[in-house]
Structure 1
Amino acid sequence: MTTGRTLPQLPYGAVYFRKSNPPRDDWERDYAIAQEDGMNFNRHWFMWGAIEVAPGVYDWEDYDRQMDLATGHGIQTIIAEMITSVPEWAAEAYSHAVHVKADGTALRTQMGVSSATGGFGEGSQGVLCLDCAEVKEAAGRFLRELVLRYKDHPATAGYDIWNECNYSPHVCHCRYTNAKFRSWLQTKYGGLQALNRAWNRYSYTSWEQVRSPRQTGPYPECIDWVQFTKDNFYEHMQWRVELIRSLDDRNLIAAHGIAGSIGAMASMGADDWLAASKVDVYGFTWVASRKGSEPWKQWHAVDLTRAASRGKTFWHAEAQGGPLWLQPQVIGRPKEDGRVTEPEDMRVWQMISFAGGARGLLFPRWRPLLDGPLFGAFGPYAMDGSRTDRSAMAGAIAKWANDPEQRKLLEAVPVQGDIGILVVPETQIFDYLLNREGKLELYTQAMWGAYRCFFDQGVQADWVHIDDIAKYRVLYWPYPIMLGSVYAEALKQWVAAGGTLISEGCPAYFGDRGSAGAKQPNHGFDAVFGAVEADVEFMPDRADGIAFDFDESGLLAVGGGFRQSYRPAGGIPWGQYRQDGGTAVVEHKYGQGRTLLAGTFPSIGYFQSGSPSNKAFIAKALAWAGITPYMRLSDASVQARFSRHADGSLFVWVVNPDRSQKSLEIRFSDALQPGQSRAGRVYWDGGTFMQEGSALHVTVRGRDALVLGMDGTPD
């Protein structure tokens, strides 16, 4: 981490000030309460639109007061939000450079839901386009003024350069972005004739004729446009990093997303791996009331952010601490589904984040906003700033996490998972374009379904970016329908070198530029899987009848999405479709590695139905791959994770998200050699335990956790 500041053992606090909340008269009292309750970190929104009130005229008064109060109460501060909110005068002065949608609609400033102040646009990119040099210069001037004013302030810990840093697939189509798109295309293709051939346009005679596509479909130009939009967004992010770092080489630079790399493409784009690569500390927003409080959902977000951070410190940057009332995500849901937050909810949500490796935790509010549709939301303290039973829980956890007794526990990091789920960003982009008109979410359902199927049987699955596959022996490929030739070659080489690949249907069916391969599987994967396509059906609306057997028991796994059957070409048939007896599953050896190919999508089937036979198929595939989970729990409603310290010490986190107490047995495998050690010190006392050999008998209270050190662990 690049920082000259000494951070707390575990940064713990909230977003406190979003102009104009909370009321100024309460600030000093609120800071005193926060300090007494063990809070050590704040994040404030230093909004361009609220500070540069006229060109070159800055109103710092409220922000100076926040920083001085933080210093007086021992609370460090992250400066956040910054240039997404623009001054109204700037929106008028640069009206020629507002974001433009594909249909030509120009954005206007609007009230920001999360602060109830003006100057915002749609999504996280604001209303003004940074591809306009004038806008970029004006935004840069404000950032320079901001950094130079506070970089040496004793309360400053760093900068959160983008709040929920995800890019909109809908903007920008203005003339400045189009000019930049043409430059991007020239770099990629070289000459105009190469672009004509790649795009199947054939008759461009001037680069000025090339414009951003108005349609959205699985065409080369649309693939290029979505990829450019992503590249351009993260280039803007890099610009912020470089500008701030040129002025301040002491304080940390952070950012946080929404753990959206698996499920957010339709509404907003996300690449958590790319975002995390640009900052010192990464993080994620996860609010159960908006997502649903099923445990697998939060675990998936923590695991995703940890994977994207690639060993860097990451924080749960916005964790729910209070209710949510009238937002569309909660209407019709029961209050127990995270809608009305109880102290026990906060406790188990935070223990999940800590068990998954998060080493900082901030609430979206310290106390709720008093204005706008998010009034009363998210804060552990009451509307008037007084203490609640939720704030008591927050204070207890804050003090526990920053007690030196927990230092070694929190220095430990989660061990690598039992298996990796392969993530290929170009596949998600193509699926977004392929299925947009049908409003299908097959990519998300497949990825989530695979993760949940592993999760529901106590198997720790890591999200593995295709650039990181060398670290894993076994990979599961839930939705492989599109793969470019570069990554196809890398994956084939990984298998040949000894990797074990379990793939679902239609692997690399579409290749470079989105073209379907004339021979299937495409890109030479017929040799990798030892099979060629016999038949294929792309009818996800008629997929509810897809089922296949996979052993002698007669169990039928449920498919989903598409259906591909095979003729073995060196591979061994493993299962047949119920409908016509066609080969549904093939195993094969390739080089030093092995492959298992299922012709449909049992992950989608599991996401939609939760079929026990799909879990049985996955269990058989894991046994075939030689996977032995680190732990086996007798009650699948409870989760457990190992973390390991640099000195080799192991810790086990046992988390019970259920409302009732659970008693269960945990059996350890020999993979981490915990059978040679004994559960010893209790770090978080949410239950009781007794060990017999390699079995640990535990009782964990409802919505609580038991955290143990494994004494005597071998190095």
Structure 2
Amino acid sequence: MARVIQYWGLSSYPKHSTPVGLDPVSHGARLDFARSAAYRFSDGFVLGEFQTGFGTVGLRVSVPVTSGDLTQWTWSALARGAKGLNFYAFYPMNSGYESGGFGLIHLDGRITERAEVLGSIAKTVGSHGELFLKARPPKAQVAIMYNPLAYMVGGPRRLPLPGAQDEYDGVERDSWTGMYRALFSQNIPIDYIHADDVAENGITGYKLLYVPYPIMMSEGTAKAIARFVQEGGYAVIEARAAWNDQRGYAAPTIPGFGLDQVFGAHETVVTPVQRTSLIVKSKNPAIPMLAPGARLPGMIYREALETLGQGQVVAAFEDGSPAMAASTYGKGKTLYLGSYLGLAYERTKDAQLEHFFEGLLDWAGIDRPVSASAGIEVRYLEGPGYTLHFVLNGAEKETPAEVRLHCSFAAPVVRDLVTGETVSYQQEGERLALRKSLPPQGAWVLEIRERGR
């Protein structure tokens, strides 16, 4: 859709009508999904409706929306290059099944703290409008493939049977967000790329590609993955890749469309499971943060592998069958996973899996232009002769922020956009070290530019 309209966007209701709202990672993934689509084909994205007050749907009522929520949500969207935010609504819904909800002020007209905070943010953005309009998100080096064909496999979902694999709602979504969540604390830009766009235009500009839950795939997409690796890219793909083509026909070899040659392995036996473990057998450059014996959780399938060509077994299942294979193809490198590790991380938050995903960045040589203390998110935009950095505290408690920002300016000046004050820093090579204690769900918005410009 983004390719045929001028400005693509979405509605965002992080606390629509549920007892628990979206956490900063889930909200960030949705914003980065929109950013990836919009900036691929145009010059920004919009939020057509952005929640301002607690939600109601019939008898269901969300948890309260706070001024801290609006601070966090608004700056998170702007930090990803949103060019239009339409807040819904100033006055609450006064009738119907959403009666009383989604308002920035009270039904009796009283102004809320939320309205005052949002107005203050609007003044800051408005007074620096050119900075925000001209700034763009940095180019990502990491891509996660979004493949809507995955929804086509399996038909209606049954309730899970004891001992069988889990087949519950959200397996596709959770597969696509698992790696994103695992790398959220690394504060690197991550793109979502559409499988159809990949098939048509190829994969360019990235160092690392992760292909989660790839059970249905077009031949064009598979060939694009092969070209990406052949030309020097690093690719990781999960179990039963290209099991079905876009017509629903099964591949004679899995992974299909020749991807077995690209990834140096093919399937021998697949077993349905609720949970499984992939046990690291030996050190390998593809998993630099994992030692032999480390156990990685997998879900849905246990796909036993046989290596081909230059393929090397990296991990095995508990029965000893190969579970992970590393290989080379052309100028690039690959890693094949015999289960669904993205899904497993989204649902277990396993520490070893987090190390696995972080290690992929080192394997592929991914730059880390910013670093931050625990619990602090940093995103940035690049403008002509300046950068905008957004230091965000997603926690509902005061959190000390210590950040190190890459800066190529010879004599940089740092300014707090909200207060207008100059911010002191320590120079550490090409990085600027800054410290500040952020209030609950607080934001620190910084402009960095060359002194005198």
* Runs of 4+ more than 6 Å apart: none
1:406 CA drift (Å): 4.1
Letter in 1 for 2:367: T
1:677 CA drift (Å): 5.7
Please tell me whether the aligned partners of residues 668 and 674 of structure 1 are also in contact (alpha carbons under 8 angstroms): no
Q: 2:349 maps to what in 1? A: 610
1:504 aligns with one of 238, 241, 248: 238
Please tell me whether the aligned partners of residues 46 and 82 of structure 2 are also in contact (alpha carbons under 8 angstroms): yes
Identity of paired residues, percent?
Answer: 26
Q: 1:712 maps to what in 2? A: 450
Q: 2:257 maps to what in 1? A: 523
Please tell me whether the aligned partners of residues 289 and 330 of structure 1 are also in contact (alpha carbons under 8 angstroms): no
User: How big is each residue's C-alpha offset from its partner over 1:540-596, in whole Å with a ceiling of 9 and x where there is no partner?
Assistant: xx3223333264253211111222121211234353234112222211111122211
Letter in 1 for 2:126: N
1:453 CA drift (Å): 1.4
Letter in 2 for 1:433: G
Letter in 2 for 1:657: G
Report the CA distance shift for 1:318/1:382 in structure 2 as closer, same or farther (over 3 A): same
Report the CA distance shift for 1:676/1:582 in structure 2 as closer, same or farther (over 3 A): farther
Q: 1:367 maps to what in 2? A: 91
Please tell me whether the aligned partners of residues 426 and 432 of structure 2 are also in contact (alpha carbons under 8 angstroms): yes
Q: 2:73 maps to what in 1? A: 349
Aligned counterparts of 2:424 and 2:320: Cα–Cα separation in 1: 50
2:361 matched to 1:622?
Answer: yes
Please tell me whether the aligned partners of residues 7 and 45 of structure 2 are also in contact (alpha carbons under 8 angstroms): yes
2:385 matched to 1:660?
Answer: no
2:378 matched to 1:640?
Answer: yes
Aligned counterparts of 1:689 and 1:614: Cα–Cα separation in 2: 37
1:384 CA drift (Å): 2.9
Letter in 2 for 1:313: G
Is the partner of 1:522 in helix, strand or coil? coil
2:10 matched to 1:284?
Answer: yes
User: How big is each residue's C-alpha offset from its partner over 1:626-645, in whole Å with a ceiling of 9 and x where there is no partner?
Assistant: 1132222221x211112111
User: How big is each residue's C-alpha offset from its partner over 1:190-241, in whole Å with a ceiling of 9 and x where there is no partner?
Assistant: xxxxxxxxxxxxxxxxxxxxxxxxxxxxxxxxxxxxxxxxxxxxxxxxxxxx
Aligned counterparts of 2:114 and 2:398: Cα–Cα separation in 1: 21
Aligned counterparts of 1:508 and 1:676: Cα–Cα separation in 2: 49
Aligned counterparts of 2:420 and 2:399: Cα–Cα separation in 1: 11
Aligned counterparts of 2:57 and 2:243: Cα–Cα separation in 1: 43
Q: 1:16 maps to what in 2? A: none
Q: 1:163 maps to what in 2? A: none
Report the CA distance shift for 1:648/1:553 in structure 2 as closer, same or farther (over 3 A): farther
Q: 1:295 maps to what in 2? A: 24
Q: 2:46 maps to what in 1? A: 315
Trace 1:369-448 onto structure 2 (pairs within 5 A).
Answer: 369-403=93-127, 405-428=128-151, 430-431=152-153, 433=155, 435=157, 438-448=167-177
Is the partner of 2:100 in helix, strand or coil? coil
Root-mean-square deviation over aligned CA pairs = 2.6
1:692 aligns with one of 412, 424, 427: 427
Unaligned runs of 5+ in 2: 160-166, 281-286
1:350 CA drift (Å): 0.4
Please tell me whether the aligned partners of residues 418 and 630 of structure 1 are also in contact (alpha carbons under 8 angstroms): no
Please tell me whether the aligned partners of residues 685 and 705 of structure 1 are also in contact (alpha carbons under 8 angstroms): no
Report the CA distance shift for 1:282/1:602 in structure 2 as closer, same or farther (over 3 A): same
Give the TM-score normalised by the residue count of structure 1.
0.56
Trace 1:123-522 onto structure 2 (pairs within 5 A).
Answer: 274=1, 276-290=2-16, 292-309=21-38, 310=40, 311-325=42-56, 339-403=63-127, 405-428=128-151, 430-431=152-153, 433=155, 435=157, 438-466=167-195, 467-468=197-198, 469-522=203-256
Please tell me whether the aligned partners of residues 678 and 691 of structure 1 are also in contact (alpha carbons under 8 angstroms): no
User: How big is each residue's C-alpha offset from its partner over 1:255-296, in whole Å with a ceiling of 9 and x where there is no partner?
Assistant: xxxxxxxxxxxxxxxxxxx2x223222221111113723001
Q: 2:269 maps to what in 1? A: 535
Report the CA distance shift for 1:422/1:390 in structure 2 as closer, same or farther (over 3 A): same
Please tell me whether the aligned partners of residues 314 and 359 of structure 1 are also in contact (alpha carbons under 8 angstroms): yes
Aligned counterparts of 2:427 and 2:250: Cα–Cα separation in 1: 56
Q: 1:583 maps to what in 2? A: 322
Aligned counterparts of 2:396 and 2:446: Cα–Cα separation in 1: 21
Letter in 2 for 1:289: K
Is the partner of 2:247 in helix, strand or coil? helix
Once the two structures are overlaid, the 10-residue window that deviates more, 341-350 or 548-557, is 548-557
Unaligned runs of 5+ in 1: 1-273, 332-338
Please tell me whether the aligned partners of residues 478 and 603 of structure 1 are also in contact (alpha carbons under 8 angstroms): yes
Letter in 1 for 2:222: A
Report the CA distance shift for 1:386/1:690 in structure 2 as closer, same or farther (over 3 A): same
Aligned residues: 423
Letter in 1 for 2:211: W
Q: 2:163 maps to what in 1? A: none
Report the CA distance shift for 1:607/1:370 in structure 2 as closer, same or farther (over 3 A): same
Report the CA distance shift for 1:328/1:517 in structure 2 as closer, same or farther (over 3 A): farther
Structure with higher Rg: it is 1
Give the TM-score normalised by the residue count of structure 2.
0.86
Aligned counterparts of 1:684 and 1:298: Cα–Cα separation in 2: 23
Aligned counterparts of 1:609 and 1:328: Cα–Cα separation in 2: 32
